[in-house]
Structure 1
């Protein structure tokens, strides 16, 4: 009887896994929104001619908000590109000693471009890089404007909880 109850609980638990957690294991194109800023702002590329900077912008049908995630490698890391910047540019950590700023840079075999998508519950995920390790997560800068992102110490912060919406 006890085993039956445990099995039933496991079935219910498995059925309640959010779609985003399942999708997090698949290659595809996603729109990224954040628990802190809500579903109206998406991770985007600043269209300034250089096209290397990121921000959070009003969600829309924009190629800078279409994030292409590769299938995870054997260690669970993947690259992240946008339709706007193309296949040759990847989301990367600026290696400046602080290692908390992000940019789009030429794709290569760099640990700052190797992203891990970690289920965080309630349909959210945390995004970390191989370069900065498990201690830093993609986060929204809480400065009143709330339109910039950085890598910050991981914690139970809504700015680090991302939703991946399959496009």
Structure 2
């Protein structure tokens, strides 16, 4: 979420404002000796100032208590020239420009010299005098114009994170009497008998008997009969 930028106070004629240092928070006031200085914030009339329109978009800054205006002493234009309150004579050293700056602040420049209202020595002390000086953009040259009657904006408070809703406590279950039932016999299924297929008889084919060809009978030629000498003749001769 983007931060809200401070708004510049709208300047209205006839309204008396506080002029506060952005550096110290102290208020610009006119003292009894016509000096203008810084001091702690009070509700005293000498700390309230009206911005009355003058020429060229400038203002005369009028003190509520005295009716006199902010004036550069002796119409000075150099760095270090201090301011005081003086009767309104319409002079250029009594005219001031409001230049919007950062964070809702203004720079208050002399129309005569263009130099800014500046707290001498960057002081944060009560009684510190005010001078004109070159615009250095320092916080001792920044001023908040505060309307005391305007409602103050309260800083936006961040909503506290919601506490997580408490869960209802779980109800304790009623304790039931345990009715012990006899343990059921586990009915185990009879193991299935494994029906093994009978092994197939191996049908072995008988080895083919080798049909060996019978050896051929050797056909030997019968030996020719020798023609023997006629024995009968021999025997007959012997008998003789």
Q: Give TM-score, length-normalised by structure 1.
A: 0.76
Give unpaired runs (5+ residues) of structure 2. 149-240
- Name the counterpart of 1:138: 117
Paired residue for 2:39, among 57, 60, 68?
57
What is the rounded CA distance, in whole Å, between the counterparts of 1:97 and 1:81 in structure 2? 19
Paired residue for 2:57, among 76, 87, 92?
76
Shift of 1:116: 0.6
Residues 130 and 96 of structure 1: CA distance in aligned 2, closer, same or farther (over 3 Å): closer
- Name the counterpart of 1:36: 23
Question: Root-mean-square deviation (CA), in Å?
Answer: 2.2
Q: Is the 8 A contact 2:24 2:124 kept in 1?
A: no
Q: Which consecutive segments of 4 or more residues in structure 1 shift more than 3 A?
A: 96-99, 143-146
Q: Is the 8 A contact 1:79 1:113 kept in 2?
A: yes
What is the rounded CA distance, in whole Å, between the counterparts of 2:77 and 2:111 in structure 1? 15
Residues 144 and 96 of structure 1: CA distance in aligned 2, closer, same or farther (over 3 Å): same
Q: Is the 8 A contact 1:36 1:140 kept in 2?
A: no
Superposed, which structure 2 residues align to 1:65-144 within 5 Å? 65-70=47-52, 72-86=53-67, 89-95=68-74, 97=76, 99=78, 100-133=81-114, 136-142=115-121, 144=123
1:151 aligns with 2:136: no
Give unpaired runs (5+ residues) of structure 1. 1-11
Report the number of matched residues.
141
Q: Which has the higher helix share?
A: 1
Residues 61 and 77 of structure 1: CA distance in aligned 2, closer, same or farther (over 3 Å): same
Residues 145 and 18 of structure 1: CA distance in aligned 2, closer, same or farther (over 3 Å): closer
Q: Give TM-score, length-normalised by structure 2.
A: 0.54
Shift of 1:141: 1.1
- Structure having the higher Rg: 2
Q: Which has the higher strand share?
A: 1
**Larger relative contact order (C-alpha < 8 A, sep ≥ 6)?**
1
